[in-house]
A = this chain, B = another copy of it.
């Protein structure tokens, strides 16, 4: 068997393990009978370990060396380069330290949960101190050219650097704060957001049909903590939950997850056996979900074309004019909790975490000073007073899991989605009309050609450059937000 064939077989084997583990997990979160939990966890653990061994064991090392001897071109060369880079990066951390880290974050996650529930910062702080100390060490093992935080960014947004992010985030922050000032004193309409479960289920299915989510290569199911999961390349599933007091989470959350799933459905299947069958980065992935959530789901024409149907389904909307509904859906309200933030202020939450993470990693900021600094930035950027650490520094799970460098992806997703939206409108005629009509094929096709199909065979920067003709820029997002909130304000 040729080395290349062995290489493909290796990734096909990993794909099979991934499919099994993803399905075991999806089922656990949707349909599994309760008594199944113990055995299920053991099976997931066992198969994940088997898969991990194949990704790291001596057979793989030998194969990697053999591939290094081959003359490779095109996507096969990319496959090898990415695999080699990941392997080299992983092997820089001494195994004993990696084990310590895994144990630490596994403990820290449950301590964080308790600390958040009890609003007890002191309980969590010692764990976070250890985690930050290890992140600092890892950064030195991995190495970096300019800024230690670059080594962490790399895991989630390959090629991204502090030198590039700093000015982008500064510009974005300033623009949002300016827009916020313009909204000052405006009052958004208050609506009744309740809708029964059956109505929400029906709306979700209708909307996903409308936007052309491919139900022959996916599903929509109910769960407690919604997620998107890829069972295999043609089986990208969406989950959602139904809050009868507020249907916004369900309808927009489902659009969001369907964006992730549509990306996954569109990756060229042949990339799977080269280890390239996944999103280019967390930021690019998030750009697709945010594109579906904001640029389709919250599109004025999309909502307006469906408003009569919404009014029939949800009696409390009967006497609400569309303009009032649209303004209410787009309410801006600086708040404490990131995952409840509106479209405009969301990026400020991310920028705060980015700034804190960066300074924690360089040592400019120590864990003990984190709550005070958190509260200061929330006041400065969002104008809100943080009453408790549970609603402040303790609100996110990420740090307890050692995920430093991940947060910027959320804001990068916003930035990319606006760049793609602008480029799409340059290349495809009558985008708003297509969205209103639910004739999304040309839009999906454009996203597929420019983003989806490439999987991670291209870097985020390559994708954005090729799709938009420009490098990363926050201007399209600022223009979009400015135009949108000018329109929203007019209706208030």
Contacts and interface: CB of A to CB of B under 8 A. Distances in A.
Contacts of A38: 234
A235 B36 contact: yes
B42 A16 contact: yes
Given A232-B36, A235-B32, A43 B27 contact: no
Interface in A206-227: 214-219
Contacts of A17: 47
Interface residues of A, number: 35
Main secondary structure of the interface of A (DSSP, over half): helix
A453 to B, nearest CB: 16
A12 B235 contact: no
Interface stretch (A18-26, A84-92, A174-182, A442-450): A18-26
Nearest to A48: B16
A233 B42 CA distance: 12
Interface string A218-247: 110000000000011111000000000000
Contacts of A19: 24, 39-40, 43
Contacts of A233: 39
Contact of A23 (B27, B34, B234): B27
A233 B39 CA distance: 8
B33 A24 contact: no
Contacts of A24: 19-20, 23
A410 B392 CA distance: 65
B35 A16 contact: no
Q: Which of A36, A216, A234 has the most CB of B within 10 A?
A: A36
30 contacts: A12-B46, A13-B46, A15-B43, A16-B43, A16-B47, A17-B47, A19-B24, A19-B43, A20-B21, A23-B27, A27-B27, A31-B219, A33-B216, A33-B217, A33-B218, A33-B219, A33-B234, A33-B235, A34-B217, A35-B214, A35-B217, A35-B234, A35-B235, A36-B231, A36-B232, A38-B234, A39-B234, A40-B231, A40-B232, A40-B235
